[in-house]
A and B are shown apart, each in its own frame.
Chain A
Amino acid sequence: MAWDEAAVDERAQAFLAEHDPEEMGRLDFLRARFDAGLAWVHFPEGLGGLGAARGLQAVVERRFRGTPDNNPGLIAIGLGMAAPTILAFGTDEQRRRFLRPLWTGEEVWCQLFSEPGAGSDLATLATRAVGEGDEWVVDGQKVWTSGAHHARWAILVARTDPDVPKHRGLSYFVCDMEAPGVEVRPLRQITGEAEFNEVFLTGVRLPDSLRLGEVGDGWRVAQTTLMNERVAIGGTPTRRTMIGLLGETWRERPELRTHALHQRLLSLWVDAEVMRLTATRLREQLAAGHPGPEGSGMKLAFARLNQELTGLEVELLREDGLAYDDWTFRRSDGVDFLGRGSGYRYLRAKGNSIEGGTSEILRNIIAERVLGLPSEPRVDKDVAWKDLPR
């Protein structure tokens, strides 16, 4: 059937009339919600959805407000990256096995893409997967893996053929994080804490049934994952902002003000306002069904602005800026950016122009895909991966 707003709303109401989360418990409630097709309505029937338009999810969320949720912060990588990739490239069996516990939060996912030797140039990655019968043996090192210490599964890109050019020799797997040979170590950052991990893979044996997509097609599969990552990064409006916080400090501490800082503050206030208006206009374009290329610029603008604002805050605070709230080495599962001290904010913001595509790569993307400028000559294009200088 074709789902419209009324029909989806009716189904959500009917479900809630028959299912009491207090009585059932959180997990059974979420499983039942998935089975009723009310997890993500744009997914197919039987996989937590109704095959309805993506926009109708808002109708469901309105009805389910106040009911137990699946802790979307903790399972963001599963929801935003693994799920769309499994849906697009998984076999029926893989979709049935993975999507339900992914959505309910029973199984947390992480991402094994970046390596110490493969950051911006992800396709040059060196983690090897060698076929042995109906198994793959994986060896290598991954890095910048958030949530690896909670994860049951990972999405993994590994090299299955070193004798062809780099983009063609990759395959995409689901990695069992409980398999022997998987070692997760926290990676301490300049802020003192560890948001991320290093993951060492030593002789990890994965059955071929955990492969997503064809052998050698891993790059194309990874594009689906990365496209969804950029959408996820671009689309979250927050109420409290860095410029708002800095403005509060400025008003509350008149003794700290100087003419030089005042000029910088006003410039950045204008920049923040221009960014807010750009984001507003972008959302209007999306709502009107005309997504503009402006989206690719938002992360670039955000990184620069956040870095300048946090730098100004430390300087404004003078003696308080010399202090640091907490250097304790510990894992942190989320970034409480505005809740921490100014020194933390300054240091953490340095990652804004590196994570999820460096600002330099984003400028290349804008120049080539939006402005249509020619790419740099590629020396690695037709060379077998094993022959590339590394």
Chain B
Amino acid sequence: MSEEAQSPMTLLYTEVEEELRAAVRSLLTDRSSPSAVLAHVESAATTGAVPYDMELWKALGRDIGAAGLLIPEDLGGAGASAREAAVVLEELGRAVAPVPYLSSAVLATRALLGARDEAARELLGRLASGEVTAALAVSFAASPYTPPHPAVTLGADGTLTGRVTGVIGAEVADVLIVPVSAEGGDPALYAVDASAARIKTVASLDLTRPIATVSFSEARARPVGSVAGVADALLLAAGLLASEQLGVAEWCLSTTVAYVKERKQFARPVGSFQAIKHRLADLWLEVVGARAAARNAAALLGAGEDAGVAVAVGVAQAHCGTVAVHAAEECIQLHGGIGMTWEHPAHLYLKRAKADEIALGTPGDHRDALATLADLPGPVS
């Protein structure tokens, strides 16, 4: 997958990317329709189970190979780039699919890629095959511009103690990847078996990707190398989240357009009223911009060059985060009463979009970062 027919900087989709999209979309259409996701979330809530669909994750991660897209071929991965991961995330966003792709195959994977120890390489091999699922023990609300100081400390006996809030994907992880601060020493990255941690899911705004509090009390852990990859993981995940937000926005737009063509009031489709058409035309334009911005971030992240990456991620996040929320809010409003019901899946998208807006830096955080990156400094005093 590392070979591409077109220049890596194109903002269009390559043939390889379109093939990957078709495979993911076909899987999700069969196995994860919005109503199936809603049913899954509901049954998980009644039985006290996690809302993730681990059968679907197995099919996506192992059979399609999405788990190992970002892992180099010599470690057993596909050696693909952020561009391909972005296409997977577009489709997952479109389906609000409850799978730990972003938490395991992007955040934890990228953190481990920067860790470099043999233990990290070994773990990456198992992540690539889909045999193991991991989660990065860092708050989903962390911003790539001010990565949080590690809240977990290393004891003299080599065990870990501490508490991390707002973690995604921990409930279904086999391994937790934990940034650890050591007294007098440099912070380092550790791997902890999930069974050695206490993981408590919090009632979450986003029903399809809840957050959890992860606690360690003298938990046995093994060092896997440097924490340098954690900041990179946050930047990569922020840039790729824009593609998930694009997928969320696209579903909301197309579902709303289809609905207003069908729904009749005053003896005509409500979609024939200009008050509605103009709102949807504006939303369409926002989504068109979101696609260009998300593609640009994925292309620059995938090219592996530093120049322009931070600006591209900042622009994509500042725009796409807002667009996804706007699209989901319009979806609820233009569906009228039905949009307000639990039965209609629109709320799953609103909850995902609003949570994504906060995740990995708010639009305001990204604009603040752009003030420096674009040399547009604030007031002097």
Contact = CB atoms under 8 A, between A and B. Distances in A.
Interface stretch (B122-130, B183-191, B289-297): B289-297
A73 interface: no
Given A274-B315, A277-B11, A372-B257, A377 B272 contact: yes
B277 A363 contact: yes
Contacts of A376: 272-274
Given A247-B374, A265-B376, A301-B289, A374 B268 contact: yes
Interface residues of A, number: 45
B261 A373 contact: yes
Nearest to A262: B378
B45 interface: no
Interface string A323-355: 000000000000000000000000000000000
Interface stretch (A101-109, A113-121, A253-261): A253-261
A233 interface: no
A277 B257 contact: no
B372 to A, nearest CB: 11
B278 A360 contact: yes
A92 to B, nearest CB: 42
Contacts of A70: none
Contacts of A322: none
B89 interface: no
B145 interface: no
B380 A257 contact: yes
Contacts of A371: 257, 277, 280-281, 284
Interface string B246-263: 000000000001001100
Interface stretch (A20-28, A128-136, A194-202, A280-288): A280-288
Interface string B147-180: 0000000000000000000000000000000000
Contacts of B23: none
Given A262-B371, A301-B285, A367 B11 contact: no
B367 interface: yes
Interface in B292-324: 292-293, 295-296, 311, 314-315, 318-319
Given A300-B285, A371-B280, A374-B269, A284 B374 contact: no
A16 to B, nearest CB: 34
B34 to A, nearest CB: 20
Given A281-B12, A284-B11, A267 B367 contact: yes
Nearest to A367: B277
B59 to A, nearest CB: 31
Contacts of A384: none
B277 A368 contact: yes
Interface in A231-263: 247, 250-251, 254-255, 257-259, 262-263
Interface string A271-282: 101110110110
A266 interface: yes
A354 to B, nearest CB: 16
Given A281-B291, A284-B12, A364-B274, A373 B260 contact: yes
Contacts of A285: 12
A71 interface: no
B288 interface: yes
Given A270-B367, A274-B315, A251 B375 contact: yes
Nearest to A285: B12
A15 interface: no
B74 interface: no
Contact of A366 (B272, B273, B285, B378): B285
Interface in B3-60: 10-12
B364 to A, nearest CB: 8
B336 interface: no
Interface of A: 247, 250-251, 254-255, 257-259, 262-263, 265-267, 269-271, 273-275, 277-278, 280-281, 284-285, 288, 294, 297, 300-301, 360, 362-364, 366-368, 370-377
Rank and list the top 5 A-B pairs by shortest CB-CB distance, nearest first: A367-B277, A277-B292, A363-B281, A366-B281, A281-B11
Given A257-B379, A284-B12, A376-B272, 20 more contacts: A254-B380, A257-B380, A262-B371, A262-B379, A263-B367, A266-B376, A269-B370, A270-B319, A273-B293, A273-B311, A274-B319, A277-B11, A277-B293, A278-B289, A278-B292, A284-B11, A297-B288, A371-B277, A372-B261, A376-B274
9 contacts: A262-B376, A266-B371, A270-B314, A274-B319, A281-B11, A284-B10, A288-B12, A297-B284, A373-B277
